[in-house]
Amino acid sequence: FGSAADPAPPPRCSPCSERNTKRLQDMRPRPPASLSRAAALKFASIPLAALLASPAAPARAVIGESILPGYLQADDKSWDVTLPAAWKASTADMRAEPEHRFHLRAERSSGAAASLDVFVDVAKGKQFLSDLGKVDEVGRRYAERFGTVQRAAAVPGPVRGSTYYEYEFAGSTTTTRAKLTVYQSRLYMLLLTLPSSAPAEVLAEADAISSSFKAFPVNMFCLAASNGGTAPTPGTCY
């Protein structure tokens, strides 16, 4: 037996307590790999209780951005777009027109008249945007419908490796903006029709809508079901 002068042995934890402690340590969120060493150390110093009490992060879309109010996605997840608060979709069924795979209509609900159309159409034999032709060549074809080409550019998309053609056409009383790309024998096209003298607020909304528009390739089972004209079974498209 130890004497009164001997140091007291350290308190022992039960195996259950040790497991609980380990479990809590494992629950600590890990800092992203891209953080600098200093930022990672700062992250690690945050008390676990504070991290667990933090509010949940907003929902994320497939490429990492926050999903905002006004977000609309096709039932086969092949494209999406986000409308500002002043814009409202007017299409009850985006598959209702047999000549299009999808057709979404939306309008600005007040103030300056402005409208949006998103079309998804068959592009037989076209697998890539370049299969349509060069950006200027494609722009000249659409100019017959929308007016004089004011801008034509090939721009990178938000998904790595994706490219879109963007245009602005000047008509007699309206300006038409177009953004399009091609995947899997489908042409994805966004059209914005604006007054020629649209105020800055409307132009900014049009910029936001165009920037939000994205198209994606989908798996072959999803594509086959969707091209059949009906919404794919939940879980088919990813």
Print pLDDT tens along the chain (238 aa): 344 455 555 555 455 455 554 554 554 445 444 445 554 444 445 454 443 444 444 444 455 556 778 999 999 999 999 999 999 999 889 999 999 999 999 999 887 789 999 999 999 999 999 999 999 999 999 999 999 999 999 999 988 889 999 999 999 999 999 999 999 999 999 999 999 999 999 999 999 999 999 999 999 999 999 999 999 999 899 7
For residue 108, with 0-12 CB atoms within 10 Å meaning exposed, 13-18 middle and 19 or more buried, which class applies? buried
pTM for this predicted structure: 0.73
Q: What's the pLDDT score for residue 53?
A: 43
CA 152 to chain centroid: 23
- Look up residue 234 and give its two tokens: 């939940």
- Look up residue 148 and give its two tokens: 């004089």
**116, β-bridge pairs:** 106, 192
Q: 198 near 205, Cβ under 8 Å?
A: no
Query: How far is it, in rounded angstroms, from Cα 238 to Cα 232?
Result: 11
**80, β-bridge pairs:** 73, 214
Residue 161 Ramachandran class (φ > 0 left, ψ -120 to 50 alpha, else beta): left
Side-chain-side CA neighbours of 129 within 13 Å: the count stands at 24
